[in-house]
Structure 1
Amino acid sequence: MENAEKEKTDKSQHFPQTEPPRCRFFSQGKHCHFGKKCKFLHVRDDAAAQEKKSNRLPIHHEGTPVTSEACSEDVGHTAVAVHRRPCRYYLSGHCAMEDRCRFWHPTMFPTLDDTSVSSVSSNQTRSVQRKPQVPRPAVLQEVKLCDLTEDVGQKLRETEIRQLMKRFPKDKVIIQERSDGKVTYYRMSVEATDPDWPFDLKEIDIMVSFPDSYPQEIFTLEIPLDQELPPVMAKHVQQASLEWLQAKHATNGIMGKVELLFRPFLRWLDRSLERLFTEGARQLKKDMDLEKAGLQFIPYQELQASVGESPDDEEDTEADTEDTNDGKLEETELQNNGGENGGKTLPSGEDEVQLETEAARLVENIKLSNPRRGTEVKVLGLRLGENTATVVAQQISVCFQCNRCKITADLTLSGRTACAAQCEKCSSSISAAFRPCMLHHYCDVLGYLDLHNVVPSDLVLQDCELIVGCLSCSQDTLLQNLSYGQTRELNCEHCHSKLSVQAESIKFHYLQPHSNKTGTSTVNYKMFRDPAVQKGKPLPDKGTCKHYKQSHRWLRFPCCGRAYACDACHDEDQDHPMELATRMLCGYCAKEQPYNNGKPCVSCGSMLTRGARTSHWEGGQGCRNKVKMARNDRHKYANTNKTVSRRAAGDKK
């Protein structure tokens, strides 16, 4: 035993014990998953270098006194740390790099008795631990329409007036009140910011007034005539501005919000002022040329006042004279009508009786003009019951497509009242008006659309309101929720006769405008193009979508009456649960037909999905008859040279 212990001591003296190996993950600065349970030593290779680069001041253990040299060395470390950026992660609560971080951790500094070090550290700590600035509350600019109350509307109105007074200096704003003191007008000068402004006149005066119901209603805008701007140009700028305000307000109404419009209007006016001045200058030049020629424009309002039409006739005349420029009669119309009266024109000095006579004849000629213009809406497969006499559209819902960005939007149109809005993506102005016609057994035209910057793609028949005339009692009945391909039956509200209406599909057809005698047309063809969906022509992208590339059809869902490429497209656009489609549109010819799966189109015979049978094997989904297989299909001659036993051959016989 003594010899064994002696041998052990000799071995320990000749072979001393070595420390355990270092953990290769921890030594390289990486994370060790074992942590404290790791059997290797957690010591970093760069511990000495990190200790020199660390921001900590040297701490003396066991209470040893700090010498002057150590204190000076500490001050040097503090001065170096002052010029370094603090670690934003450490200030927020935790820094994963810890002592290996190259940024400054301010709370690592110990407290020193030296005044210079304490002053430096206190200043730096004060600068780092400064309380964050409280963010300023955002100014209320827009609210949801459902959240609008009288108090919120009043606050929005006060905010708009306050921003107006801050936007313009006091010397450029004139505040005027009406005699009753209820309406306040703000007159200010708007200057063009374009450095390449081509006109001598750089300012324009505008007068605005905010009603009590603002911003639920648009503010009133006037261009005063007591300035250097000619009256014709001022009226043109005022009309264009009001149209923009109405379109912006209508767009906000569609999106379900209320917005302060004065500052957006100023930005739009600054961008469009050069264009408005140019258009107004052209109109001014035309008026001056006609005045030199001895002719006179008759404004449409004066023409109505002189003739004394009824309000219904006024609406008909307004709709029929939409193609005239700014509601005025062109020189060609005056000359053509004058030619019927012996080649006379209307000088400016004739008496009032002759003026009324000539105006009445002009109105008659306007009423007799061709109403077939714009985009024709035709009902295909119209079937009216025995007691159903007529059908007139009171209100329709049309899905339009922007000419510029191809974004679709739904607009609700009601007889002859133009609907103006803005595209949500490209902000281009769009407008549409509907002129209804009477449907009966010998006419299938629902009406005509007058469009600007949009084309129709679909008519949502379920959202349309139709007036059905009874043949028995000659009374009208309201009809709603009419679906494609389904017979809608109802009873007359007066005589209780059974009425029925059925429509298969809708066709949009753009009517080319007629040219005048000189062979030139007054319509700008760049503003119009064919409808997006036309019978006999393919649908956009042949009916495919990003979800299904091999499905060449649109499905019409009965839940909303709209046509989408697939159910995923329906769910992205609508917020109600989807019902299975009952009708579909062919992607190759746009023929609307009942839904069928795996069968060709009833019109063009094209397969709408990829399930068509071919003469090839196609993994077993194609043709399996070797007689009908294609010659270049390897399955046609498979196993033809295979040896067959006599027993198998006998069994076959």
Structure 2
Amino acid sequence: MEDRCRFWHPPQLPSVDDLPVSGDQMRPASRMIPVPRPGILQEVKLCDLTEDVAEQLRETEIKQLKKRFPKDKLIIQERSDGKVTFYRMTVEATDPDWPFDLKEIDIMVSFPDNYPQEVFTLNVPLDKDLPEVMARHAEEASLEWLQAKHATNLLRGKVELLFRPFLRWLDRSLERLFTEGARQLKKEIDVERAGLQFIPYQELQAAVCEKSEKVTSSEPASDTTPAPDADGATSCEERLEMTEGESAVDGGKLPRSGCDKEQQQEEEVSHLVENIKISDPRRGTEVKVLGLRLGENTATLVAQKITVSLQCNRCKVTADLILNGRTACAAQCEKCSTSINAAYRPCMLHHYSDVLGYLDLHNVTTADLVLQDCDLIVGCLSCSQECPVQNLSYGQTKELNCEHCHSKLSILAESVRFQYIQPRTNKSGSSAVSYKTIRDPAVQKGKPLPDKGACKHYKQSHRWLRFPCCGRAYACDVCHGEDQDHPMELATRMICGYCAKEQPYGNGKPCISCGSMMTRGTRTSHWEGGLGCRSKVKMNRNDRHKYANTNKTISRKAASEKK
């Protein structure tokens, strides 16, 4: 690194042979002959580079490589023609705080005959435990560094042995390469789970070129094309005349230029991208977040792990189940021992999509989503980083700051709806998707809850209450206490028992959707057979029950017992 090195290099002391001699003393002639030391020649000026010097540099590089790596970590492979030799070695990270389980990486290098005028080739084999995406990323980053280093040396007018500097760079950058490769691997896995497929731009460009070649070969040659010259090309004057003739015939419309061809290729590429087949179509039970509002700096939201309340189709017992996007879950019903299978396929929530994911269920139906127990990952729009989010409640805006750039993020979710998607095939053979809402007692929008939300404790209460302490919905506080063992907090939201509309809690207020009264209240000042007002103070004076039994004689014993 020359002057840019951050370490201190002490000045080299002169050797004994270079020290001045006092008097007429003379050193032996054998000491005056310089003896070449192996390994000193590392870089040479470009003007002084000859074939012999280049060969010497190449041999020096190979000798240093063989001395650096032991025999158990170095494999030498030769091609059948014997012209190219590959050196495969295992490079191990020297960082004492290495965070990954995989600590080493295999590389394969080959030195061309004109090395170091040309950079040596580098490959990362794929027969080890390192994933292909991470291996490709490490190989591309290494080649970029080698090309940049070689170009810098050429600008300075010198050539340098780059293998040992490359090993030092690789040792310092190995953790960063693994981290970036792991992020790319995670993105590809998330895309595959979402049902999409990445197609490299090179493949699309190759497909477009093949298509254009086929079209060109299928078109007949025009008779008006001028004959080529002796070297097989038409002259500039003939091409100009041909262009002017075509423009005059076509009414001033010039033939397709290079820019038009590039535009046509881009249109074909975009057409191919639009026609990518989705490997994992929309199926199962769709979990849709209603009333989703993401803040200005909030880009995406992904649920890595969710907690859902599932109801057995046989005995109608409800239980909670934790699902993640990696493995399916298999369990048994506590009452009837029916086998239950459930799997969760996450999706990415953003400003134009409110689908949280899809559920594949067997022998159970969904009852509720416990949003407070879900593990969410929110993406920041300012720094494109992700941070975890927990304790998200229905109807409450969750505000947090990004862990990287400290931008303000906000998330709001009103409720969740489950929708069953069943694929079917038309008579014409084309596949279509039909949507059918699940017969779910908890979230069937527009239809009443079981028993209109009433329970055995409160017969006249037609609503379910969602308690913020656990994020679950119960018919009353007693039902919550029977099912949970934690201290109860007052409910802040409720679900109408007539239309299943979730809304903020309001005592004595009608439903904001259907207008029904969810509790039996004193709406008049009359008795109404015992269903109306029972307070004689508030009762209408025209009601006979207001003064009933007022002048009745009461015994002293009954009066004393009443007191």
TM-score (norm 1): 0.39
Name the structure, 1 or 2, with higher relative contact order (CA <8 Å, separation 6+): 2
Say which structure is richer in strand. 2
Say which structure is richer in helix. 1
Q: Greater Rg, structure 1 or structure 2?
A: 1
TM-score (norm 2): 0.45
